[in-house]
Structures are given as C-alpha cells and as structure tokens.
Structure 1
Amino acid sequence: MPLLSGISLLRGRHVGVWLVSACLLVGSSAAWAQTVSVEGERFERNVEENGQRYALIGSGIFTYMLWTAYVGAYYQVEGEPEPQPQNDIPRRLELAYFHDIEAGEFAEATTETLQDTLSSSAYRALQSDLEALNDSYRDVAPGDRYVLSWDGDQLRLVLNGETLFEGGDATFANAMFGIWLGQEPLGEDFRDALLGRE
C-alpha cells in the first residue's frame, strides 16, 4: 500500500472514531438534559403514568438532623406549570430513600402529621382511607422509591413500580400532599425546592 494511501486510511479511521464519539456524547447529553440529578438520584423531567403526562416542577433534598433522609421531585400534569399541590389537578411526588425505614414508621409519621395539621373533624373524615393507606406501607431500603400520585380520580401509592394503594378522594389527596407541600410541611426548605421556589 502506498504511504499516502495508508495515511489517508488512518485519517479516515480517526475521523470515523471521532464522529462516533461525538454522536455518543450528543446522545448522552440529550439523555442528561431530560433528567435532573439530586444527590446522585436522577429524576425524569417528564413522566407518563396511568394515561397522564406529568412535567417536573421542582426537586430537592429532605434532611433530618444532620443526615440526608431522602430526595424528591414534584410533578404536575402537563400544561399546569404553576404549582398547585393542594388542588384537584393530577400531580405526583416521587421520593428516593437513602436509609432503611420500616413500614410502621411511615404509618406512624403519616398519622401524627395529619393529626397535627388537620382539624379533628377533617381527620375523622379521612381516617378510613388513611388506615387503608397505612396498611399498605412496606419497609424501604436505600435506593427504593415511593411515588404518591393523584390522577384526578384516585390517589395511588407505588413502591418501585408496584401499586400498593389505590383509593381516596380529592380531600384525602390534598391532605397527603400537604404533608410535604402544604402550609405546615415536614420541611419548608424541601417544600420550597419541590415547588420550584429555590
């Protein structure tokens, strides 16, 4: 093979490798642009679930004392960019955990929070739905994800893609979302991050 032909062939191979690498980088960048990262956990910017398309409103970190308990992302149905966490629009909250938490701890915390933030009559009105949801909780380990969603008809609790609870009405959904996104949330900084205020 003549020297110049060999050099041309090598250059062609280098160009080919460069083009493939560039395409992979562009594809990777596009994939990253479709997600957000919070403490190493990735959340999609757009999610399709149970016939609804949701758009990310905000994401953040929930800390307890000095450690990161979990991170989360809040979504609303596409076309509703103004945060409305306690309205009747379809919405979802996704939480990714960093520590082991027992099912009973979820149930206890949910009950205590609603008792503290609701009137006695409002709490009694949703008590049967709350008991059913509390019974559906399962233990979580690092990396597990819970999703709480309201599709306009019913509330769902999903763990790692498995539906554990379906039921309740808009009032119950508002109470549950209020735990993280209401006037008296578990953490104001976390709420504000989820609502895109930070």
Structure 2
Amino acid sequence: MRKLLVAACLATASLSAAALELQGVKLEDATKLANTELVLNGAGLRTKFGIAKVYVAALYLPQKNANADAIINANTPRRIVLSMLRDVESEKLHDSLMDGLKDNTSESELAALQPKIREMNAIFSSVKEVNKGDVVTLDFLPGKGTQISLKGQLKDVIGGDDFAKAMLKIWLGKNAVSNDLKAGLLGSK
C-alpha cells in the first residue's frame, strides 16, 4: 500500500511539473474563471506569412474537448490567452481579429455585431501597441459576454453570447486563422 501511495505521489508531482511550454511561453495547466475550474485544452503558434511568429494561443475549458463546434456553442466559461511573441500595433491586432470575424460569420451576422465590434475597436484603440511578452486574455462568460484584458488589466466586457461565439470562430471556425493553430487549440497537435 505504501509503495502504491509513493508511486501515486510521484506521478502527480511529475504531471504538475509538466506544464506546457511553447516558444518559451509557459502555459498554466489550469486556471479559474467565474468560479469554474478550467483546464488547458490545447495551444498553438500563430504565424504570419508562415515565418513571423506573432503569438502563442492557449484555450482553457471546463474539460478537454476536441469538437470545435461544441466548444463554440458551449454554455460554459471558456478562455483564450494570447501571449505575444513580437510587438504589434493594436490596430493591426484588431484588423487581424476583424479578418477572422469576417471569414467566419455571414454578412448578416457581421452586420448585427457592428455595435459590439465598435466596442472592441475602442478597447484596442485605447492601447497603441501590444509588446513582446504582453498577454491578451479573452474570457467568454455565458450570459455576460466577452471580457477583454490587455497587459493584465481588464479593459471591458462586450455583452452577448453571439459576440463570444463569433470571436471563438476566429480560432476554431471553419475558416480559422490557421489550421495548425486550430489543431493545437483542440489538443490534436
């Protein structure tokens, strides 16, 4: 019995010490959001033009899930963390997010989201640049909306589950910004 207990303790210690590291970014195994424990579902690298490393993205969910549609439509808290690997003007980051929205929503959905998109634009306009090492956190809170934090500071909450779903589609939609990044976030890479 004692050997079994020691083996279990060693296994637990090695699991907790095995936090994922990607491109020098250490990712937490778990986090808490809205009184819900979230686990690291997966992570990946966003590149531009196949060579420029832009950010490491990590997806946190209440439990691991490899089904993108189920994650997008879930009625549970979810979090995406973007750890910047280079300096990016906030306008360019915003434009990149807009491209992802346009690629994954219909014209009518995009038109309905315009007031919320203007709110997001105001948030990113208030910060001129995100720098290497900065973190952008997008918390998706059912019934509340999308909580955006930049550089560790809460900027605002954009109301509505529709906006949260549209934002998740940027990375998990049928036309995700990167298929490799999507696979990483879904834990399949």
> Is the pair's TM-score, using the shorter chain for normalization, greater than 0.5?
yes
Q: 1:196 aligns to what SS in structure 2?
A: coil
Counterpart code for 2:177: L
- Structure 2 residue 78 is the aligned partner of structure 1 residue 99: no
Name the % identity: 27
User: Alignment partner of 1:184: what SS?
Assistant: coil
Q: Could you tell me which residue of structure 2 aligns to residue 183 of structure 1? A: 174
Counterparts of 1:99 and 1:140 in 2: how far apart (Å)?
Answer: 8
Q: 1:85 aligns with which of 71, 82, 95?
A: 71
Shift of 1:159: 1.4
Q: Give runs of aligned pairs for residues 4-153 of structure 1, distance below 5 A.
A: 32-33=17-18, 35-65=19-49, 66-77=51-62, 80-83=63-66, 84-87=70-73, 88-137=75-124, 138=127, 139-152=129-142, 153=144
Larger Rg: 1
CA RMSD of aligned residues (A): 2.0
Of 113-122 and 42-51, more deviation after overlay is shown by 113-122
Task: State TM-score, norm by structure 1.
Answer: 0.78
- Inter-partner Cα distance in structure 1 for 2:98 and 2:44: 24
Compute the displacement of 1:111 (Å). Answer: 2.3
CA contact (8 A) 2:103 2:175 kept: no
TM-score by structure 2 length?
Answer: 0.82
The answer as to whether partners of 1:52 and 1:151 remain within 8 angstroms in 2 is no
> Which range moved further: 147-156 or 83-92?
83-92
Q: CA deviation at 1:95?
A: 0.9
Whether the aligned pair in 1 keeps the contact of 2:45 and 2:181 (CA below 8 Å) is yes
Q: How many residues align?
A: 170
User: Secondary structure at the residue paired with 2:88?
Assistant: coil
Q: CA deviation at 1:76?
A: 0.6
1:92–1:147: 8 Å Cα contact kept in structure 2?
A: yes
Q: Which ranges of structure 1 fall in alignment gaps of 5 or more residues?
A: 1-27
> Comparing both chains, which one has the higher relative contact order based on Cα–Cα distances under 8 Å and sequence gaps of 6 or more?
2
Give the drift of 1:30. Answer: 6.6
| Counterparts of 1:31 and 1:117, CA distance in 2 | 36
Quote how far apart the aligned CAs of 1:169 are: 1.1
Q: CA deviation at 1:93?
A: 0.6
Retained in 2: the 8 A contact 1:98–1:143? Answer: yes
